[in-house]
Amino acid sequence: MAILFTREKAWRSPPSSCDEPSFAPPAMASPVPRPRPAAPLRFLPGALAGALAASPVAAGPLSAQVNGLPAGLNVLMSVSLARCQGNGRLQFVPAGSIPLAENTINTVERVPVPFARVPRIQRVTRTRYEGTLNVQLPASNGCSSVPVGTGRRTYQVLGQTPAGQPGERTAVIPMVLQGGATQVSDTISARTTAIVRDQQPLSALAIGAPNRVATGFSNSFGSAAITRPVLEIQRRRPFPNVLGPGYFGTVVRFSLTDDFRACVLVVGSGSQCRPLQEGGTLQVGSVSLNLSQSAFSAAMSGAGRTMTWVFTLANGFATQGTWRVVAQADDADTIDPLVEGQPRSLDLLPWTPLAVPITFPSP
């Protein structure tokens, strides 16, 4: 595959209200997990640890490439390194930051075409943000069981909040630097990671019995940015008098709103919504959703979240044809990103859904 660099733009300075942004990651950002030591941490004497930390090892360049973001953004990269404290906790100390430059790349890729069986090969334009930061590694970080290069790189997309104040969206990635030149390539994404039934990959749905289907989601901007989960049961529909594979249309749709109202839509039978916390059963046509057993996991530290749907398809549910299940969610757009230096409302991180084929085994 040939790659051609056609355009490079230097980072644009944001408005003065965004100058000197804080590089401390927000509360929702994923902290670097502490390695589990084989023995309790042994802290060096304070004076010795301070003296060693003050004597850095030679700088090593960290070169980063960031994919998955639209063009025209102001993207910063900062690095922080772990240091052991006397209370047994890790503190992350800033080790430098840089703005990333934007590159436009033309590639040749296979692109799915709606209603076609075979993807089309065509030229696609992608945006990538790049930069290199020299990182000084200390001779010691104050403890014996955490590698000196333990740290995290943080990517910040600058923007403006709905209240007109400077804002940012932050993705945090753990790392361990070994010293010397390091190259990393990261993709900022929001996607569905799994669809399982009874803790096994989903391949079939039962008729006349409860189905417990759990969907896993991941968002580089943190679990708090994962909202409005959806699960759809779809059937392939042919085009009248046209040769081709047809298209998948929704038959059943389960969804959860921002205010935690669970909704069930059944094509031909209507739709209903009810607060999830009320419990009970939500019935629409031949489909019922058990609200008491369905749940959306809390937004915790980390990038993942899970939605569990417990539903029953009645014996009268039509199962002829080719079926699949699709799971997706939404990325919460908390700011208007700076595009070419101006705040603009846009879908910063489009969701990547997951679809799996299913059958309906005979009872």
pLDDT at 78: 97
**84-141 confidence digits (pLDDT tens):** 887 768 899 999 999 999 999 888 877 766 555 666 788 888 999 999 999 998 888 8
Amino acid letter for position 179: G
pLDDT at 27 over 90: no
DSSP 76-141: EEEEEEEEE-TTS-EEEEEEEEEEPEEEEEEEEEEE--TT-SSPEEEEEEEEEEEEEEEEPPBS--
What distance in Å separates the CA atoms of residue 18 and residue 100, rounded to the nearest whole number?
16
What distance in Å separates the CA atoms of residue 284 and residue 263, rounded to the nearest whole number?
10
* 310 vs 300, residue with greater confidence: 310
Calculated CA dihedral for residues 253, 259, 261, 267, nearest 10 degrees: -30
Task: List beta partners, residue 283.
Answer: 288
* 242 vs 259, residue with greater confidence: 259
Length of the chain: 363
Question: Residue 240: which residues within 8 A CB-CB, separation 6 or more?
Answer: none
pTM: 0.78
* 305 vs 124, residue with greater confidence: 305
Structural fold of domain 190-358: Immunoglobulin-like (2.60.40)
Per-residue pLDDT band for 233 (boundaries 50, 70, 90) equals: very high
pLDDT at 200 over 60: yes
What distance in Å separates the CA atoms of residue 19 and residue 185, rounded to the nearest whole number?
27
* 245 vs 320, residue with greater confidence: 320
Round the average pLDDT of the chain to a whole number and report it.
Answer: 83
> Is the CB of residue 292 less than 8 Å from the CB of residue 279?
yes
Domain ranges across the chain: 4-187, 190-358
Burial class (CB in 10 A: 0-12, 13-18, 19+), 166: buried
Per-residue pLDDT band for 34 (boundaries 50, 70, 90) equals: very low
The two tokens of residue 16 are 């003065």
20-29, 214-223, 274-283, 286-295: segment of lowest average pLDDT = 20-29
What distance in Å separates the CA atoms of residue 275 and residue 258, rounded to the nearest whole number?
11
> Is the CB of residue 191 less than 8 Å from the CB of residue 354?
yes
Question: Can you tell me which residue has the tokens 């090969």?
Answer: 121
Q: Comparing C-alpha atoms, which of 42, 32, 62, 43 is closest to residue 135? A: 62
pLDDT at 242: 54
Provide the 10 A C-beta neighbour count for residue 179: 13
Question: Residue 319: which residues within 8 A CB-CB, separation 6 or more?
Answer: 207, 360
pLDDT at 324: 96
